[in-house]
Structure 1
């Protein structure tokens, strides 16, 4: 594979490319650590998925809240990233998560969808949802990202 310069690609191009790479060619990061997959990418919207595993447990034996929070943070921030041109960056300024249901370790699949609400000159906002494989809402949230143009 030819070396890719991420700074030369728009956010949409970069995420589309990342979604096609085999696991062995992906750079290390939180997605690799948690086993997240990029399922859908379009301008202003991204869907990630992951399969819960025993390492995600909290002391009560259910999925730790950091897992759906990370899924939401990634999906919402990457949705913002899809709207940015080459060379632009972002960082999360604020993350708000609402947990709706207990997430069991034996859930088949968790889906995290992020959708852009607004992109301005210096900040962007997005909303997100975490659902199970049947579409049942498990958590939802919002984010504000600072943009670096």
Structure 2
């Protein structure tokens, strides 16, 4: 299968990735009532994530991670565990839970970054509290920014099951990538 390399476009609403005919502005992608840079970044994040699902690209598509909410320094992503997410013990693999948390925490930081600024995870710490079986229970990860600086940012996340029981909690340190760095 051939995957077309996404085009990177810089414009009024930040940097967008994708084929020109598929791109939407953050205003079109964002119906959340957010304003300014946060709205721009939330819209950009939503569009990139949705494009990945449409084109079967990225962890959202491969693991079933979905975006529920993107706001100012906060995000919520969810996962409905499925056979592709289990380990040899028939529980959800810790790496899948860590990926859900990393996605949510990184996205929360992204909403606080200026247009044109990117990020990557420097450190990821996950505390697993209990295992998860394939019982049909949705897992939800809420993430919130703790700090955003010029070079690094931090965020915290919590994964809970449908009954509100804590499954895992953790934190991340993010490397902030300024344009031209």
What is the CA distance between 1:85 and its match in structure 2? Answer: 1.6
**Separation of aligned partners in 2, 1:147 and 1:134:** 35
**Separation of aligned partners in 1, 2:79 and 2:106:** 17
Shift in alpha-carbon separation, 1:20–1:101, aligned structure 2, 3 A: same
Query: In 2, are the aligned partners of 1:12 and 1:83 still within 8 Å (CA)?
Result: no
Would you say 1:113 and 2:135 are equivalent positions?
A: no
Question: SS at the partner of 2:130?
Answer: coil
Q: Map Cα deviations across residues 14-35 of structure 1 (whole Å, 9 max, x no partner).
A: 12445666943x5611111111
Structure 2, gaps ≥5 residues long? 1-6, 17-25, 27-39
**Separation of aligned partners in 2, 1:145 and 1:19:** 19
Shift in alpha-carbon separation, 1:27–1:11, aligned structure 2, 3 A: farther
**Separation of aligned partners in 2, 1:109 and 1:28:** 22
**Separation of aligned partners in 2, 1:93 and 1:4:** 24
Matches within 5 A, 1:81-92: 81-92=110-121
Shift in alpha-carbon separation, 1:63–1:20, aligned structure 2, 3 A: closer
Alignment-derived partner of residue 34 in structure 2: none
**TM-score scaled to structure 1, two decimals?**
0.88
**Separation of aligned partners in 2, 1:38 and 1:19:** 8
Q: Say which of 15, 29, 44 aligns to 1:7.
A: 15
Question: SS at the partner of 1:7?
Answer: strand
Alignment-derived partner of residue 128 in structure 1: 157
Computing the radius of gyration over CA atoms, which structure comes out larger, 1 or 2?
A: 2
**Separation of aligned partners in 2, 1:57 and 1:33:** 13
Structure 1, gaps ≥5 residues long? none
Question: SS at the partner of 2:99?
Answer: helix
The size of the alignment, in residue pairs, is 146
**TM-score scaled to structure 2, two decimals?**
0.73
Would you say 1:34 and 2:97 are equivalent positions?
A: no
Q: Which has the higher contact order (CA 8 A, sep 6+)?
A: 1
